[in-house]
Structure 1
Amino acid sequence: MSADPYEVLGVPRSATSDEIRKAYRKLAKAHHPDLNPGDKAAEERFKAAASAYDILNDPEKRRRFDAGEIDASGAERPQHQYYRSYAGGPQGEPYASDAGYADFLDDEALASILRGARRRGPLRGRDVGYRLRVDFLTAVNGGSARVMLPDGRSIEVAVPPGTEDGRTLRLKGEGEPGRDGGEPGDALVEIEVAPHKFFTREGDDIHLTLPVSLAEAVLGSEVPVPTPTGAVSMKLPKGANSGTKLRLRGKGAARREGGRGDEYVTLSIALPDKPDADLEAFVSGWAGAGYDPRGKLGL
């Protein structure tokens, strides 16, 4: 018998959807088979957490579980009622107590009915949850990745363009097998997007801090800029400063409905790693040496 999903995830019955999701993600990350190779106990805890999340993450399944209509595995609970009769009593006669009543079904008959209910027809297999870490550019541009299953098989997952961290992909028929001829469940693959070494993402837009030389910033120039689809050339205006933000239209993350977001490039003036005598001589004789960069701060 499957354990109570609330107990498995360690949440109260009043838990919100966000609390349930956070609890599941924490357990899935701790007990994922990829992170615990050969650990059968961790594998079982991972499966239990996925099964519990499948029930509680679906509002209708959660309602039905709370109402006692399905059990913790998602299987239908037989609905029955007990009939009582009173030997020799006239039909409809009220009684002040249960004395003299008898259950219409005894234990053996009830067990037989329950067995018959379980054989009533084919049952669909349970959905199974997995977590898949993909690299940043695969999520932004689309691509594929493979997820390892507990039985040793691997499934290639098509990652749609613009996939965001936390998105769940459904793989039809890759869950647990059905019973009595029922169709298999699905695999629910939650995507975890790995961070990039210099790109960050906000919605469909990509952000980048770009180092530029003092000469490039002062004189203006064209410089190469990385984007998720490859480097492009960008023109810097004369007198560009650190913190200046420029936009590259259509160079952000792919959108589900088509097109792409934008890329925002923040300039950062970078001086040489080692002292430069020519630069020092120029700055020493610079006519604007009296410029106060902190004047606007009142310092």
Structure 2
Amino acid sequence: MRDPYDVLNVPKGASDAEIKKAFRKLAKTHHPDRNPNDPKAKERFSELSHAYDLLSDSEKRGQFDRGEIDAEGKPKFSGFGGFGGSRGTGAGAGGFEQYTWTGGSGGSGRSSGFSAEDIFSDLFAGLGGRGRAGFAAGAGTAGRTQSAPKGDDLSAEVTVPFTDWAIGGKARVVLPTGRELEFSIPAGIQEGKTIRLKGQGNSSPLGGEPGDLLVTVHIASHPHFRADGHNVRVEVPITLYEAVLGGKIRVPTLDGSVELTVPPNSTGARTMRLKGKGIAGTGDLLVSLRVVLPPGPDAELEKLAKRMRDGAPYDPRKAS
């Protein structure tokens, strides 16, 4: 049996995290299920499992580092000092101290309390019969159902139209594999928020569940609408005579258009509210009126303006 540090390709002073990381990487590469045509795969995997079994157990690792046990986990004979296992009570025949070895060899005994459940449940969940066979060959835990790791998650970004974002809609994203996926956009989702699509990531190389797709959502600007909390603002131009006399106008909304009555003597300072026409149907549509003069010179309008200026001037900029 080779030195376990050499098997896992880690230095003697490696931390527990470094040992676990090295084992995970090598175990994924050399698992028998990933190498069905390699007759030595089980042997290599068994060696890896045994090395991790020994080095991840602090008691066994200490005994190995002190030379009390060999790479197989067996006690070394050290003259009349006995075997470097756990000390029993009393002395044996002929004055020799008796020792009872509590560690197994080849991963068959675990009275030290160490269990590889944590890492194998992560690495080999869901492998079924094949996974159990591979596990038994490597870690000496036949009959235990383990789980293969999930596939890697994928990331993507999507920019959705303002109206689809505000009232909810569908979006499509193209995955790195070229596959297109359509999914729902929750109404009013926060800019930059990530949607997790379960099982739409990469497949697991060891037969586990596929990873997830993480889609970051961005919101496109709109030429007319602007979000204001749960409300939506829109500016609507009206004629001078509509502002003075009042009238009915068509106003765009997130899902069509509606008719709105403009009261007489309306100015650009007036904001009209359409209930429930905002984001996700909970906010309102706030309509600002903008008075627009007719195009080109208008002699009659100019005469009217001069009469107002000279006979009935007013100052909208003066504080009321």
Q: CA RMSD in A?
A: 3.4
- Name the residue aligned to 2:242: 216
Q: For residue 207 of structure 1, report the CA deviation from its aligned partner.
A: 0.6
Change (3 A) 1:283 1:178: same
Q: For residue 69 of structure 1, report the CA deviation from its aligned partner.
A: 10
For each residue in 1:61-90, what CA deviation from the matched residue of structure 2 results, as whole angstroms up to 9, or x when unmatched? xxxxxx87986xx99997813223355568
Matched, 1:124 2:150: yes
Change (3 A) 1:240 1:184: same
SS at match of 1:251: coil
Output the CA distance in 2 between the equivalents of 1:206 and 1:214.
Answer: 25
Output the CA distance in 1 between the equivalents of 2:201 and 2:315.
Answer: 66
For each residue in 1:78-116, what CA deviation from the matched residue of structure 2 results, as whole angstroms up to 9, or x when unmatched? 7813223355568799xxxxxxxxxx9xxxxxxxx9xx9
Change (3 A) 1:170 1:246: same
- Name the residue aligned to 2:167: 141
Percent identity of the aligned residues? 36
- Name the residue aligned to 1:187: 213
Task: Read off the aligned partner of 2:198 and give its amino acid letter.
Answer: K
Change (3 A) 1:70 1:130: farther
Output the CA distance in 1 between the equivalents of 2:273 and 2:198.
Answer: 40
- Name the residue aligned to 1:205: 231
- 1:173 pairs, out of 199, 206, 210, with 199
Q: For residue 163 of structure 1, report the CA deviation from its aligned partner.
A: 3.2
Output the CA distance in 2 between the equivalents of 1:131 and 1:261.
Answer: 27
Gaps (5+ residues) in structure 2? 1-16, 29-51, 69-77, 88-102, 104-115, 125-134, 136-146
Matched, 1:161 2:206: no
Change (3 A) 1:70 1:194: farther
Task: Read off the aligned partner of 1:200 and give its amino acid letter.
Answer: R
- 2:252 pairs, out of 221, 226, 239, with 226
- Name the residue aligned to 2:316: 293
Change (3 A) 1:239 1:173: same
SS at match of 1:174: coil
Q: For residue 292 of structure 1, report the CA deviation from its aligned partner.
A: 2.0
Change (3 A) 1:241 1:68: farther
Moved more, 162-171 or 224-233: 162-171
TM-score w.r.t. the length of structure 1 is: 0.59
Task: Read off the aligned partner of 2:295 and give its amino acid letter.
Answer: D
- Name the residue aligned to 1:282: 304
- Name the residue aligned to 1:18: none
SS at match of 1:235: strand
Matched, 1:266 2:285: no
Output the CA distance in 2 between the equivalents of 1:171 and 1:149.
Answer: 12
Change (3 A) 1:239 1:145: same
Q: For residue 295 of structure 1, report the CA deviation from its aligned partner.
A: 2.4
SS at match of 1:284: helix
SS at match of 1:226: strand
- Name the residue aligned to 1:46: none
Task: Read off the aligned partner of 2:290 and give its amino acid letter.
Answer: S
Output the CA distance in 2 between the equivalents of 1:267 and 1:69.
Answer: 69
- 1:83 pairs, out of 62, 74, 81, with 62
SS at match of 1:137: helix
Change (3 A) 1:288 1:270: farther
8 Å contact kept, 1:139–1:164 = no
Change (3 A) 1:219 1:153: same
Larger of the two Rg values belongs to structure? 2
Q: For residue 288 of structure 1, report the CA deviation from its aligned partner.
A: 5.4
Change (3 A) 1:69 1:155: farther
Output the CA distance in 2 between the equivalents of 1:204 and 1:292.
Answer: 35
Q: For residue 265 of structure 1, report the CA deviation from its aligned partner.
A: 1.0
Output the CA distance in 1 between the equivalents of 2:20 and 2:268.
Answer: 61
- Name the residue aligned to 1:240: 266
- Name the residue aligned to 1:50: none
Output the CA distance in 2 between the equivalents of 1:198 and 1:284.
Answer: 34
8 Å contact kept, 1:283–1:289 = no
Gaps (5+ residues) in structure 1? 1-66, 94-103, 105-112
Q: For residue 206 of structure 1, report the CA deviation from its aligned partner.
A: 0.6
Change (3 A) 1:184 1:140: same
SS at match of 2:184: strand
Output the CA distance in 2 between the equivalents of 1:200 and 1:212.
Answer: 19
- Name the residue aligned to 1:4: none
Output the CA distance in 1 between the equivalents of 2:240 and 2:312.
Answer: 16
